[in-house]
RNA sequence: GCGGGUGUAGCUCAGUGGUAGAGCGUCACGUUGCCAACGUGAAUGUCGAGGGUUCGAGCCCCUUCACCCGCUCCA
């Protein structure tokens, strides 16, 4: 099966290059990793996708929950913004993937530091219990590492385990502690007692006693939870270990900042550093007040944006799926917090469900088979701390046996507007609005359906790719007619006998309304086959009979069936078939 | 980033140190007249790049770049 999926993907990639959908960027110079160019057909396809999204989400969105009408407006923001935007959003501080690798030969495993849980065991009394308790608040682990001299000794890290999620880690606490005890000075710990548990960075604090009656305190925490500022000038910055797989030494935490940066102005100095946006959402939040003040929108309403975003992916992979430059189609939908909703008024959670369902239906309406579309609601432990709920809409691509994310629909609460209020105005509530009925001030809650335009384009391509060995042209692209790069082709059966003279005016009439191609060269079979690979749904062929009775053949891409219509009806026929 | 693999025509690939090849595709002409038809002909290569060994390198050595697979990640 794996080989099968591999070859399917290779054939799709080959077709995309052969027919001009997608090229590797800068190919003649040896290419550049993580960047892709769309050719003539790909550019039409992606444009159709973005236009369908804009039409269906912004200009003509469906009715909301309980039949509520709502407004959608668009913005088109600069890619480079004041760099404080990214401080407020958390990207400057947090948008990085700290990684560690195992140094041991034969292991060399790579871990994301926040997925490795370590157990630290220290003689009791090093930290008092109040110190531990304090560490459960926002700063997490900070109090527990105030004695740097002890922490420099890596041997205090005596066990670690790798888990997929916090829930599993919680189940794993007891065994991790026991494992820690067994490795510590080769002494069996008589008893362990978990004294407290916390989510996120620090998982559990516990007490333990060994055979000699020595008492210990321990902490289970995420490997990335130790603030690097606690180890400013340590000659031994190796604070991580041991490897959860083989027990070997781990490398330093390596922090990759995933944002591209550059500088404005003539001087290339730190004060002028600016970032290429890693998401389009912040442009919307930053303009929230401008839009409210200028366009007479009222909550609930949404602001939409389509645009490029940039992430310095460590390892771009899987064709265009994980690119360093990509395009997003994002909505920030602003609504009332649940507690202010009147009876019968949709709550924020209902808006969240509405958008999740709307987005799934949208994909299905454009020909994505529902069994390949996998909406996945995130568990509580998987959510970002500000997020109330989130569904990843995933799709089964041929390059993986795991579904891959096309879009995230997140209920973000008031987090983003609070952050910008705090950083821009010094007041969390700076962007509050006043409720018409209750006259109460509130910061709107946000539902964020954030879709990847390139990812969906790739999904559309892989979904459309069809092989039917019984056909003369076995490979063809079954694009939804609304997305097809070329809607129709016009062929004179032969390039003589007056047929081009009939075909050309038909072509010229069609292309005023729809993307169309005219081709008079080579055999009719090759011309059909080429259009099949381009995914063109309809071909009109002018033959000898056209001269006699004025009819032309319409050939359907999906089943190669043919029918005859009057040549004057070609445009009407397309309007009928292409209008959704 | 680490490990493994692959780079020769638009595509698929052959070419084990001695003149750069095939099939398909593309283009032209002819023929045919509704499904990659047939005939004839043509164009297309920094052999991924740079360096080295050699009388001579697509082939051997070194470096580098890109892509693929795995670890990992995600809109």
pLDDT at A345 over 60: yes
Question: What whole-number distance in Å separates Cα of residue A59 and Cα of residue A52?
Answer: 10
Which residues numbered 504-523 in chain A sit less than 7 A from strand B, measured from CB? 521-523
Residue with tokens 């997929």: A164
pLDDT confidence of residue A123: 62
Residue with tokens 């099949």: A532
Question: What whole-number distance in Å separates Cα of residue A352 and Cα of residue A334?
Answer: 11
Q: How far is CA A355 from the centre of its chain?
A: 16
Question: What whole-number distance in Å separates Cα of residue A289 and Cα of residue A425?
Answer: 12
Q: What is the DSSP letter of A41?
A: H
Is strand B within 7 Å of residue A384 (CB)? no
pLDDT digits (tens, 9 = 90+) for A284-324: 999 999 999 999 999 999 999 999 999 888 778 788 888 88
Is strand B within 7 Å of residue A310 (CB)? no
Q: Look up the ipTM and state it.
A: 0.85
The least confident of A116-120, A211-215, A231-235, A507-511 is: A231-235
Is strand B within 7 Å of residue A110 (CB)? yes
Is strand B within 7 Å of residue A278 (CB)? no
Range list of H helices, A95-144: 129-134
Q: How far is CA A54 from the centre of its chain?
A: 18
The two structure tokens encoding residue A398: 């041929």
What average pLDDT does the segment A24-44 reach? 85
Please answer whether residues A174 and A254 qualify as being in contact, where contact means their C-beta atoms are separated by less than 8 angstroms: no
Is strand B within 7 Å of residue A238 (CB)? no
The count of other CB atoms within 10 Å of the CB of residue A517 is 20
pLDDT confidence of residue A392: 92
Which residues make Cβ contacts (< 8 Å) with residue A463, sequence separation at least 6? A367, A368, A369, A372, A478
Is strand B within 7 Å of residue A12 (CB)? no
| Nucleotide with smallest C1' distance to residue A471 CA | B35
Of A183, A201, A200, A181, whose CA–CA distance to A191 is shortest? A181
B69 C1' – A106 CA distance, angstroms? 18
pLDDT confidence of residue A446: 97
pLDDT confidence of residue A348: 95
Strands (E), A356-492: 373-377, 389-395, 404-413, 433-434, 441-442, 445-452, 465-467, 475-477, 488-492
DSSP A305-359: EEEEEE---SS--TTTTT-SEEEEEEEEEEE--GGGPPTTSPPHHHHHHHHHHHH
Say which CATH class A486-578 falls into.
Answer: alpha beta
Is strand B within 7 Å of residue A406 (CB)? yes
Question: What whole-number distance in Å separates Cα of residue A371 and Cα of residue A364?
Answer: 10
Please answer whether residues A381 and A166 qualify as being in contact, where contact means their C-beta atoms are separated by less than 8 angstroms: yes
Q: Where are the domains of chain A?
A: 2-91+274-462, 99-257, 486-578
B1 C1' – A368 CA distance, angstroms? 36
Which residues make Cβ contacts (< 8 Å) with residue A67, sequence separation at least 6? none
Q: What is the DSSP letter of A229?
A: G
pLDDT digits (tens, 9 = 90+) for A156-210: 455 555 554 444 444 555 555 555 555 554 444 555 555 555 445 555 666 666 6
pLDDT digits (tens, 9 = 90+) for A459-518: 999 899 988 888 887 889 999 999 999 999 999 998 888 899 999 999 999 999 999 999
Question: What whole-number distance in Å separates Cα of residue A432 and Cα of residue A289?
Answer: 10
Question: What whole-number distance in Å separates Cα of residue A352 and Cα of residue A331?
Answer: 12
Question: What whole-number distance in Å separates Cα of residue A37 and Cα of residue A29?
Answer: 14
Q: Which nucleotides of B are covered by protein (CB under 7 A)?
A: 1-3, 7, 10-12, 25-28, 32-38, 46, 48-49, 65-75
Which residues numbered 315-344 in chain A sit less than 7 A from strand B, measured from CB? 315-319, 321-323, 326, 328
What average pLDDT does the segment A121-140 reach? 42
Please answer whether residues A83 and A92 qualify as being in contact, where contact means their C-beta atoms are separated by less than 8 angstroms: yes
| Nucleotide with smallest C1' distance to residue A562 CA | B34
pLDDT confidence of residue A17: 86
pLDDT at A101 over 80: no
The residue ranking higher by pLDDT, A112 or A296, is A296
B38 C1' – A522 CA distance, angstroms? 12
Pick the CATH number of A2-91+274-462 from 3.80.10.10, 3.40.30.10, 3.30.930.10, 3.40.50.2300: 3.30.930.10
Q: What angle do CA A19, A579, A547 make, to 5 degrees?
A: 70
B51 C1' – A413 CA distance, angstroms? 59
What's the mean per-residue pLDDT of chain A?
Answer: 80
Residue with tokens 């950083």: A423
pLDDT at A519 over 60: yes
Residue nearest to nucleotide B75 (CA to C1'): A452
Question: What whole-number distance in Å separates Cα of residue A541 and Cα of residue A494?
Answer: 10
pLDDT digits (tens, 9 = 90+) for A47-56: 999 999 999 9
Is strand B within 7 Å of residue A432 (CB)? no
Confidence band (pLDDT; 50, 70, 90) for A221? low
């Amino acid at each position: 099966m794996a080989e099968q999926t591999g070859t399917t993907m290779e054939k799709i990639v080959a077709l995309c290059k052969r027919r001009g959908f997608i090229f590797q960027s800068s190919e003649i110079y040896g290419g550049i990793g993580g960047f892709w160019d769309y050719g003539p057909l790909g550019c039409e396809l992606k444009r159709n996708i973005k236009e369908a999204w804009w039409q269906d989400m912004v200009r003509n969105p469906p009715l909301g929950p309980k039949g509520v009408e709502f407004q959608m407006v668009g913005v088109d923001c600069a890619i480079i913004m004041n760099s404080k935007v990214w401080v407020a959003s958390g990207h400057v501080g947090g948008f990085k993937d700290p990684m560690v690798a195992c140094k041991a030969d034969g292991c060399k495993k790579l871990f994301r530091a926040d997925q490795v849980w370590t157990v630290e065991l220290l003689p009791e009394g090093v930290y008092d219990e109040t110190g531990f308790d304090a560490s459960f608040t926002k700063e997490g682990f900070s109090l527990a590492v105030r004695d740097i001299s002890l922490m420099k000794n890596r041997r205090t890290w005596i066990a670690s385990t790798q888990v997929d999620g916090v829930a599993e880690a919680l189940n794993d606490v007891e065994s991790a502690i026991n494992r820690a005890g067994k490795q510590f000075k080769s002494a069996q710990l008589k008893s362990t007692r978990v004294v407290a548990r916390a989510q996120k960075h620090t998982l559990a604090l516990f007490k333990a006693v060994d055979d000699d009656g020595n008492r210990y305190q321990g902490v289970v925490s995420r490997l990335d939870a130790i603030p690097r500022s606690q180890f400013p000038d340590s000659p031994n910055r190796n604070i991580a270990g041991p490897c959860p797989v083989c027990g070997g030494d781990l490398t330093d935490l390596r922090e990759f900042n995933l944002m591209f940066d550059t500088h404005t102005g003539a001087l290339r100095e730190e004060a002028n550093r600016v970032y290429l946006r890693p998401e389009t959402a912040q442009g919307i939040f930053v303009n929230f007040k401008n839009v409210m003040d200028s366009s007479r929108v009222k909550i609930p309403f949404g602001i939409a944006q389509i645009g490029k975003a940039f992430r310095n992916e460590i390892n771009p992979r899987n064709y265009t799926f994980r690119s360093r430059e990509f395009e997003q189609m994002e909505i920030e939908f602003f609504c009332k917090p649940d507690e202010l909703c009147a009876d019968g008024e949709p709550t924020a959670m209902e808006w969240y469900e509405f958008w999740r369902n709307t987005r799934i239906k949208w994909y299905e309406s454009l020909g994505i088979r529902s069994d390949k579309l996998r909406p996945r609601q995130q568990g509580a432990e998987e959510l970002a701390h500000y997020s109330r709920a989130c569904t990843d809409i995933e799709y089964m691509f041929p390059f993986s046996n795991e579904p891959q994310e096309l879009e995230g629909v997140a209920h973000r609460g008031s987090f983003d507007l609070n952050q910008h209020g705090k950083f821009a105005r010094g007041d969390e509530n700076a962007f509050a609005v006043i409720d018409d009925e209750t006259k109460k001030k509130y910061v709107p809650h946000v539902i964020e359906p954030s879709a990847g335009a390139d990812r969906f384009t790739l999904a559309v391509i892989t979904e459309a790719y069809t092989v039917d060995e019984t056909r003369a042209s076995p490979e063809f692209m079954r694009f939804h007619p609304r997305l097809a790069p070329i809607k129709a082709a016009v062929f004179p059966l032969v390039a003589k006998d007056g047929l081009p003279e009939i075909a050309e005016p038909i072509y010229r009439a069609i292309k005023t309304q729809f993307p169309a191609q005219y081709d008079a060269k080579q055999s009719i079979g090759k011309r059909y086959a080429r259009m099949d690979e381009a995914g063109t749904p309809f071909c009109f062929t002018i033959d000898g009979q056209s001269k006699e009775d004025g009819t032309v053949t319409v050939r359907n891409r999906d089943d190669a069936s043919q029918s005859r219509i009057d040549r004057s009806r070609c445009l009407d026929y397309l309007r009928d078939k292409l209008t959704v």
